[in-house]
Structure 1
Amino acid sequence: MPLVRPHIRTLNPTDSLEALTQLLHAAYASLAAQGWNFTAVDQSVEVTRSRLAGAQAFVAESGGRLVGTVAVRGPKPAGETYIADPPPPLYTTPGTAILSQLAVHPDCRNQGVGERLLDAAEAWARSQGHARIALDTAKPALALQQRYARRGYAPVGEVQWHGKTYASVLMLKSLSAEAAP
Structure 2
Amino acid sequence: MSDVEELTSLTIRPLAEGDSIEALTALLHRAYAGLAALGFNYTAVDQTAEVTRSRIRDGQCFVADLDGTIVGAIMFYPPGKGGGCPWYDNPEVAKIGQFGVEPHLQGRGVGARLLDHVEAEAIRAGIRELALDTAEGATHLVAWYERCGYRFIEHAQWRGKVYRSVILSKSLA
Q: Same fold (TM over 0.5)?
A: yes
Structure 1 residue ranges without an equivalent (≥5):
177-181
Mapped contact 1:75–1:96 kept (Cα < 8 A): yes
Percent identity (aligned):
47
Q: Distance in 2 between matches of 1:10 and 1:112?
A: 18
Structure 2 residue ranges without an equivalent (≥5):
none
Q: Could you state the TM-score of these two structures normalised by the residue count of structure 1?
A: 0.88
Q: Deviations over 1:21-52 (max 9, x none)?
A: 01100000000000000000000111111111
Q: Could you state the TM-score of these two structures normalised by the residue count of structure 2?
A: 0.92
1:167 aligns with 2:164: yes
1:12 aligns with 2:16: yes
Query: What amino acid sits opposite 1:94 in the alignment?
Result: P
Mapped contact 1:95–1:129 kept (Cα < 8 A): no
Equivalent in the alignment of 2:149: 152
Equivalent in the alignment of 2:63: 59
Mapped contact 1:76–1:87 kept (Cα < 8 A): no
Mapped contact 1:54–1:73 kept (Cα < 8 A): yes
1:138 aligns with 2:135: yes
1:115 aligns with 2:112: yes
Q: State which of 24, 41, 60 in structure 2 corresponds to 1:37.
A: 41
Q: Any idea what SS the aligned residue of 1:162 has?
A: coil
- Structure 1 stretches (4+) deviating beyond 4 angstroms? 1-4
Query: What amino acid sits opposite 2:49 in the alignment?
Result: V
Pair 164,131 (structure 1): closer, same or farther in 2 beyond 3 Å: same
Query: What amino acid sits opposite 1:48 in the alignment?
Result: T
Q: Deviations over 1:46-80 (max 9, x none)?
A: 11111111311110111221100001111225xxx
Q: Deviations over 1:158-178 (max 9, x none)?
A: 0001111100000111002xx
Give the root-mean-square deviation of aligned CA atoms: 1.5
Q: Distance in 2 between matches of 1:172 and 1:147?
A: 13
Q: What's the CA shift for 1:113?
A: 0.4
Q: Distance in 2 between matches of 1:31 and 1:150?
A: 20
Q: Distance in 1 between matches of 2:66 and 2:127?
A: 30
